[in-house]
Amino acid sequence: MDRRVARTKRNIYTAFFSLLQKKPMNEITVTELAKAADIDRKTFYAHYQTVQDVFEEFKKSVYDSVMEILAECEARGAGTEDGFDFVYFYDALHEIMTENLAFFEKLSKDTGSMFLKNEFKNVLKQALLDYYEGWGGKSPYQLSLYAEFISAGAIHLWTDWLHHKQVPIEEFRDSAIEVLREAWKMGS
């Protein structure tokens, strides 16, 4: 991707997440998003048709990242008892979330943004379903339940920590990795 295009899209994302902290997505206009990104509307329309398109592209990029993470976790875990690197899995998901920390902190505290939290849970769930099709010989329905359990649990653990911060991040990280490892074992 051209550096100018990448910079423009990064500015649009930054503006988008900043505006999401102030108002619901359906109230954000192209005009205010373009102004916040310091671009004109014509530049916005060169990349997107609607504000929703920005969000859809972001979800797609998260999905692609999760698919890469899952492949790397299997490669790193090959030959181990688990066959999966849970530390890398958690740390990689953590990195995705910390890149947009203010946005995810808002999700953790704002009940009006529950649909956005659910959208990200669904991205993780779909990646798990796509990557582990036929996982452990389970039926598609059973696989869907395990993917729902793991993805909802991962997102909820993280947003709950953001909301309450009851323990230091390092303690949370170690505990969350162990919880995810146990949930994963249930599905395999």
Mean local confidence (pLDDT), 10-14: 91
The pLDDT-based confidence of 102 (bands split at 50, 70, 90) is: low
What are the residue boundaries of the structural domains of the chain, listed by start?
1-49, 51-187
Instruction: Please determine, for residue 112, whether its predicted confidence score (pLDDT) is greater than 60.
Output: no
Instruction: Please determine, for residue 57, whether its predicted confidence score (pLDDT) is greater than 70.
Output: yes
Mean local confidence (pLDDT), 76-99: 82
Structure tokens at 160: 């709950």
Q: 20 — phi, psi (to 5°)?
A: -65, -25
Most confident of 36-45, 75-84, 140-149: 36-45
Instruction: Please determine, for residue 137, whether its predicted confidence score (pLDDT) is greater than 70.
Output: yes
Q: 100 — phi, psi (to 5°)?
A: -130, 50
**CA-based radius of gyration for the chain:** 18
CA dist 173 and 152 (Å) reads 17
CATH number of 51-187: 1.10.357
Question: Residue 135 has what pLDDT?
Answer: 66
Read off the pLDDT of residues 23-34 as tens digits, 9 standing for 90 and up.
888 899 999 999
What is the C-alpha end-to-end distance of the chain, expressed in Å?
A: 38
CATH number of 1-49: 1.10.10.60
Question: Residue 110 has what pLDDT?
Answer: 65
User: pTM for this structure?
Assistant: 0.80
Note the maximum CA span of the chain.
Answer: 54
CB atoms within 10 A of CB 183: 16
